[in-house]
């Protein structure tokens, strides 16, 4: 195996890095372009920003989630499940809805 000099390794690294940078830039847009898209009317198809947003990293400030465990009596859990099925939501969604309704209406 022939040993390459430091300069040839650096040149190979730069070629690899530049090709991935160009590929990444093809997917992205500048901040100015993003702002311009954000200023377009919602119903304008040219203003679709979804290709440029990584929704997996999106956060809602003030709405961080913390997991809790709650024990319910079986009869209450059955009633929750019945009502959740009736309105077409999951058990968790139903509990959140009712808790939100109760606490915001006080």
pLDDT tens string 57-73: 888 888 888 899 999 99
Pinpoint the alpha helices (H) of the chain: 6-27, 31-39, 74-87, 91-104
- Predicted pLDDT at 55: 83
- Predicted pLDDT at 5: 58
- The mean pLDDT of 46-54, rounded to a whole number, is 82
- pLDDT higher than 50, residue 30: yes
Q: Which conformational region is residue 84 in: left (phi greater than 0), alpha (psi within -120 to 50 degrees), or beta?
A: alpha
Residue holding tokens 């690899």? 16
Look over the chain and give the mean of its residue pLDDT values, rounded to a whole number.
Answer: 79
- pLDDT higher than 60, residue 25: no
Which range is least confidently modeled, 6-15, 83-92, 95-104? Answer: 6-15
**Model confidence at 22, in pLDDT bands (50, 70, 90)?**
very low
């Amino acid at each position: 195996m022939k040993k390459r000099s430091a300069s040839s390794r650096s040149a190979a690294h730069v070629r690899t890095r530049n090709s991935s940078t160009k590929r990444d830039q093809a997917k992205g847009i500048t901040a100015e372009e993003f702002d311009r898209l954000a200023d377009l009317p919602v119903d304008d198809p040219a203003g679709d920003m979804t290709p440029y947003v990584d929704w997996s990293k999106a956060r809602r400030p003030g709405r961080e989630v913390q997991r809790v465990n709650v024990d319910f009596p079986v009869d209450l859990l059955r009633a929750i499940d019945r009502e959740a099925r009736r309105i077409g939501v999951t058990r968790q969604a139903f509990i959140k809805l009712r808790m939100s309704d109760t606490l915001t209406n006080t």
